[in-house]
Chain A
Amino acid sequence: MSEKLSSGYRINTLLGKEAVIEKWLGEGGQGDVYAVQYGGERKALKWYKPCGMGKNPQAFYENVKDNVMRGSPSPEFLWPQDVTEWKDGVFGYIMDLRPDGYYEVSDFMLTNVRFTSYKTIIDAALHIVSAYRILHNIGYSYQDLNDGNFFINPKNGKVLICDNDNVAPDGRKTGIIGKPRYMAPEIVMGLRDPYNLSDRFSMSIILFILFCLTHPLEGKRSLVPAMSPELQEKLYGSEALFIMDPEDRSNAPDPKIHRNMRAVWPCLPAYMQEIFLKAFGQDAMKNPNARPAELEWVNALVRFRSEIEQCQCGNEIFTEDGAPCVCECCRRKLSIPFRLRFQEYAIPGTPGSRIYRCQVGSCKLDEVLKPVGLVVSKKDDPSLIGIRNMTDKSWNAETPSGKSKRVMPGEVIPMKAGITFTIHDETIKIESN
């Protein structure tokens, strides 16, 4: 905490406007956040602490200014919109206010707030991964990715990424190397400055935490009586070891402390376990190029989302290969009459199931999560279901007897075993269970 700016205090900005302090909202390690009046609108002002601008405050300022001029890469980013003049050696920047209903990752970690469903967790994860994919694809890196950077809505999984002051063209130093426990091993060891592949590592930590409420590098080994800087360097750097590493169990979950791991990990589908094992495997610790790319995350998460069904009792069930299964809570059998078979896996074909754009071939970044097909039921007879073409192009479908049909945008293919249809590069087959 530092001396606060008082209500009514006025600060001029780079774009020739004025920010008038309304009230103090909160504080982080780098600075305070205020609600301000700015050009007739209510906005947020991030106001730095003297120590919050890295080693070279002038370069830090220039970087924020560049980000303002460039504009936001994606709506998920609470991007700097204007930068203030300097006052007593510090400055600030203007951004949108965080809307109601959004919480920090730390609130989820401390269970002050909980996601309403696993599908919502997956949606949050997908938003995070997609946003970084866009950022990395335009040649930028975030550089200080940690649990304080995200505001997440627990009801719909929407994500806002804040603290975009450190975002910089990949390779440019901002003077900030990251937050302890969230830095990639090579950064902890001082081998290099943050860049897009260290972002990937930090992002994987956040994704793991969202699902497991456990830090991926903090198993038995981390329960040390005194975390000295040397130990910190080992546990998160030179000897970093995944809590679920199958080869070396020395950092395995402690049965009393890390109970979440026992509950969640065995329930994760194999491909989700695999991507976490890849992200935190010894290869990925030592060779940043071995870390899963954002697209791999998107594919795994989209598949995971498609494979979750909800039982009547409210429990979410992970279905394997779109096959019927039994609810582990109420022991009811979950009826899944049809599955949709893709090249590599199948998903349940039940009302509400979606086929995403990224599941049917390569696509533009902003279209990854666009639903292209949706399983719907008939209004007058809900027992009849089909797949609606949500795209603006027609699909080719083929009946079991070999007849070809065109499925126009908005039209529905009846759910019948044996029908195949092609969306973009993927041919999907309807199978009965």
Chain B
Amino acid sequence: MPKIDELEATARRALHIFYVLDTSGSMTGTPVATLNRAMEETVEVLRKQAKSNADAELKIAVLEFNTGARWIQPNGPENMEDFIWEDLSAGGLTDVGAALSELDSKLSRKAFLNSMTGAYLPIIIFMSDGYATDNYQKALDEIRQNKWFARSTKIGFALGENPDMKMISEVVGNSEAVVRTQDLDLFARLIKFASVTASMMCSTSRTSNQDVTGADILKEAIDQGSAPESIVENVPVDVPESSADEKDSASDGWDADDWE
């Protein structure tokens, strides 16, 4: 018999969590400080979980946007088990279009999604507290054609007094998956609960064969955080049918070469 000590750990599919975070000038002061502490705590919990998660290998990448957009991990998503949060600082514009273009360019097998062991559909957590300062519509139209974006689980957070609910809902593609709050402590709790719930999606027993959506995850986070349901504000958005979906179903998605 082979030596038990020589066997390798069971192969796990990657589960990528992307945080797309607004660090524009309006986040200066308490908001960005709260964001940093919330992310630090979130990462701490996720890191502990990743060590015993046999269902998925958690990977994390953080994209901040202000004047332009910048990956904190330019070489691609890092293993959650080794990940350390680096504090972000706020300042500059709100270039949502730049963030979406950057995200679009990396949501590809040739870029950030190149796991040898296969992958689950990614999770994207998007947070903003204001209105876009660039023309994001073109970038949004383009990223909606990206299969990974179209099929990812997306959750939105709208912070502060005057967030652009329409823009955030359009990015997330489902207004029921967007939380709006001015309460920073509540935001900190909810982003943690939502991140943890999303990361355990593949490990949780189901009640039905239906897919788990961003809205389901938020609902659970809201239950756990004892937050009022009313913080999910319903802004109807018109999400065009993604041609990415059609391509996917035509090829059944079996062929790895279909995805780029």
Given contacts A226-B148, A226-B259, A227-B120, is CB(A308)–CB(B10) below 8 Å? no
User: When chains A and B are docked, how far (Å) is the Cα of A234 from the Cα of B249?
Assistant: 13
Interface flag for B253 (CB, 8 Å): yes
Residues of B within 8 A of A317 (CB): 1
Query: Which one of B2, B10, B192, B211 contacts A264 once the chains associate, using CB atoms below 8 Å?
Result: B2
CB distance from B150 to the nearest CB of A (A): 10
B200 touches A29 (CB 8 A): yes
Binary per-residue interface labels of chain B (93-137) against chain A in the complex, 1 for a CB within 8 Å, 0 otherwise: 000000000000000010001011111110000000000000000
**A54 and chain B: residue at smallest CB distance:** B207
Interface flag for B40 (CB, 8 Å): no
Which of the segments A140-148, A293-301, A343-351, A359-367 contacts the partner chain?
A140-148
Residues of B within 8 A of A315 (CB): 1, 3
Count of interface residues, chain A, beta-carbon cutoff 8 Å: 70
B1 touches A226 (CB 8 A): no
Interface flag for A24 (CB, 8 Å): no
Given contacts A1-B193, A190-B209, A260-B8, is CB(A223)–CB(B256) below 8 Å? yes
| Most B-side CB within 10 Å, residue of A2, A3, A316 | A2
Interface flag for B203 (CB, 8 Å): yes
User: When chains A and B are docked, how far (Å) is the Cα of A218 from the Cα of B193?
Assistant: 30
- Interface class of chain A by DSSP: loop
Interface flag for A176 (CB, 8 Å): yes
User: When chains A and B are docked, how far (Å) is the Cα of A146 from the Cα of B55?
Assistant: 11
CB distance from B61 to the nearest CB of A (A): 16
Interface flag for B45 (CB, 8 Å): yes
- Interface class of chain B by DSSP: loop
Given contacts A1-B45, A105-B54, A177-B206, is CB(A114)–CB(B254) below 8 Å? no
Interface flag for B184 (CB, 8 Å): no
Given contacts A55-B207, A316-B1, is CB(A223)–CB(B117) below 8 Å? yes
CB distance from A395 to the nearest CB of B (A): 33
Residues of B within 8 A of A (CB): 1-11, 13, 45, 51-55, 109, 113, 115-121, 147-148, 151, 192-193, 196, 200, 202-209, 211, 219-220, 223-226, 248-249, 252-254, 256, 259
Residues of A within 8 A of B (CB): 1-3, 29-30, 49-51, 54-55, 104-107, 109-112, 114-118, 121, 144, 146-148, 175-181, 188-190, 209, 213-215, 218, 221-231, 233-234, 256-260, 263-264, 267, 308, 315-318, 329
